[in-house]
Amino acid sequence: MNANDDGISRWRRVADGIRSAVSEGRIGEQLPPETELAAQFGVNRHTVRRAIAVLSTEGLLRAERGRGTFVNAVQPRVVYPIGTRARFSENMMRQSLEPSGRLIHAEVIAADAVQAKLLLCGAGAPLHRVEHLAVAAGAPMSRSVSLFSAERFPGIISAYAESGSITKALEREGLADYRRKETRLTAERVSMRDVELLNCAPDSIVLVSQAIDVDLEDRPIQSIVTRFLADRMELVFTNPPAHSN
């Protein structure tokens, strides 16, 4: 460990190390003693205890008095295919999970240069900015910020608020179908807003998807940034079948 690491970096690294060891099977049913973990990660026992406390809050570990710290059964992640047709409700229903969506915040903004390029509109054009939460079986899975042309989809905010579905809201606005053109994926630690809205631990990881959806004439209809909780969602990238010559 780097001697310049601050306390937060140390316990987070220990927590990440334990989490990885559990997922990879290097730690089985029970954690090694605190002294052994402290030596392994090059930290003191107080740092190890803090990491274990965070992982216990997440539900990964449990302490049993007089016996030690044990690993709880890991809940399977919800599978979310990322392909040309990315539909949250459809994906959840295929897994017998009840989907729902909740409008968090909406406003009209002026497109900046980056947004104008993504949506092929003029700089300064009015855009609906819609922040929304995706829920499956009562648990928050992701939060998203979508941008739509206010001129093309003037009622998108009220349509989403009533339906809880982007697809249904677009249908109400006259768009029968659309497809995913591009998805870019990165990963980072949660923000304070993620912690608040996704009900997760402050050191959790989110998978950040930046995507563009287009209509069947290849015109951009939505720019969307989605933050998926990595310990609840598994993103699966699907490719269309190859066409034979």
Residue range 21-40, pLDDT digits in tens: 887 788 888 999 999 999 99
Q: Cα–Cα distances in Å, from 32 out to 12, 13, 14, 40, 134?
A: 18, 17, 13, 10, 37
* Residues above pLDDT 90, as percent of the chain: 54
Give me the helices (H) in the chain, please: 7-23, 34-41, 45-58, 88-94, 113-119, 156-163, 166-172, 192-198
What are the DSSP calls for 91-149, one per residue?
HHHHTT--EEEEEEEEEEEE--HHHHHHHT--TT-EEEEEEEEEEETTEEEEEEEEEEE
How many Cα neighbours within 13 Å face the side chain of 26?
A: 7
Give the tens place of pLDDT for each residue, 177-227.
Answer: 999 999 999 999 899 999 999 988 787 889 999 999 999 999 999 999 999
Pick from 61-65, 84-88, 154-158, 177-181: least confident: 84-88
Q: Is 0.85 surpassed by the pTM of this model? A: no
Mean pLDDT of 121-150: 94
Give the per-residue pLDDT at 151. 97
Which has more pLDDT, 97 or 243?
A: 97
Instruction: Round to whole Å and give the CA distance between 99 and 92.
Output: 6
Q: What whole-number distance in Å separates Cα of residue 166 and Cα of residue 138?
A: 18
